[in-house]
């Protein structure tokens, strides 16, 4: 008996990939397109490019890493939802802490898949997200029993989280200002607000908090 033919790629849903590792993006593109589950219409290596390209392309599905430079996957998701993007968003992450999972769903993702789990889980998550369902890797289900949200989500504005991530990545005030198209004086105000809200005195302490909260990686 001949195997059933895979769905034609042209009829598969358009999908956008975001991960800061090119080898991961290339590998996922091959696997997804071979499976017939999706056709990849674009990819990005950082969260800011993800937001811009998804809003331009309007794919049906976004698969994004959590930890990316400039703008992490959670903040990119927040910006996409705030801008009116209504497609399915699947978070693919190496983080399995309750705090990070809660942040992702709070931001507006439809599904959360741990990178250690099988590719079949990603396909299942994409299908569920397209049906409008909430999907979480079964191995992570136990950690989602409460609605734990981190202190940062409660205390900081979206712009403050952006500024915090950029400072934690080693950017100076002028660089952050240029990246966000605002004046250095505005960034200084954000920096002082971060110091006050997070009860720290310098950028080194800000960086430690950003790492602990999963906004940046070592």
Mean pLDDT of the chain: 84
Domain presence at residue 2? no
Domain presence at residue 217? no
CATH classification at residue 164: 1.10.10.10
Residue recorded with tokens 């390209």? 53
Q: How many domains does the chain have?
A: 2
Do both 128 and 51 map to the same domain?
A: yes
Domain presence at residue 94? yes
Do both 125 and 32 map to the same domain?
A: yes
pLDDT single digits (tens) 65-114: 998 988 999 999 999 999 999 999 999 988 777 778 888 888 999 999 98
Q: How far is CA 143 from the centre of its chain?
A: 19
Do both 122 and 52 map to the same domain?
A: yes
SS3 for 116? coil
Q: Can you read off the two tokens belonging to residue 133? A: 């369902």
CATH classification at residue 114: 3.40.50.2300
Domain presence at residue 66? yes
Q: Residue 126 has what DSSP assignment?
A: H
Give the per-residue pLDDT at 149.
Answer: 44
pLDDT single digits (tens) 35-54: 888 999 999 999 999 999 99
Does 215 score more than 90 pLDDT? no
Query: Average pLDDT in the 119-128 region?
Result: 91
Give the residue from 81, 190, 99, 80 showing the smallest Cα distance to 152: 99
Of 144, 178, 204, the residue at which a domain comes to its end is: 144
pLDDT single digits (tens) 144-200: 554 444 555 567 788 888 898 899 888 899 999 998 999 999 999 888 888 887 878
Overall pTM > 0.95: no
Stronger pLDDT, 212 or 34, i.e. the higher one: 34
Can you give the length of the chain in residues? 218
Do both 19 and 112 map to the same domain?
A: yes
**Strand arrangement of the beta sheet that strand 61-65 belongs to:** 39-44, 14-18, 61-65, 88-93, 111-114, 135-136
Domain presence at residue 19? yes
């Amino acid at each position: 008996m001949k195997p059933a033919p895979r769905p034609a790629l042209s009829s598969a849903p358009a999908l956008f990939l975001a991960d800061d590792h090119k080898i991961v993006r290339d590998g996922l593109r091959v696997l997804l397109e071979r499976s017939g589950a999706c056709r990849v219409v674009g990819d990005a290596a950082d969260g800011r490019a993800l937001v811009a390209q998804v809003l331009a392309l309007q794919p049906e599905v976004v698969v994004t890493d959590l930890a990316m430079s400039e703008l992490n996957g959670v903040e990119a998701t927040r910006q996409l939802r705030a801008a009116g993007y209504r497609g399915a968003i699947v978070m693919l992450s190496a983080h399995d802490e309750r705090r990070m999972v809660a942040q992702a769903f709070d931001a507006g993702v439809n599904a959360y898949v741990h990178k250690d789990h099988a590719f079949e889980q990603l396909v299942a998550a994409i299908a569920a997200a397209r049906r409008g369902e909430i999907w979480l890797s079964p191995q992570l289900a136990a950690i989602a029993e409460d609605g734990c949200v981190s202190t940062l989500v409660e205390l900081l504005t979206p712009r403050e989280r952006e500024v915090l991530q950029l400072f934690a990545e080693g950017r100076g005030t002028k660089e952050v200002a240029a990246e966000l198209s605002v004046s250095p004086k505005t960034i200084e105000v954000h920096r002082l607000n971060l110091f006050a809200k997070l009860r720290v005195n310098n950028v080194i302490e800000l960086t430690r908090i950003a790492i602990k909260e999963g906004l940046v990686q070592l």
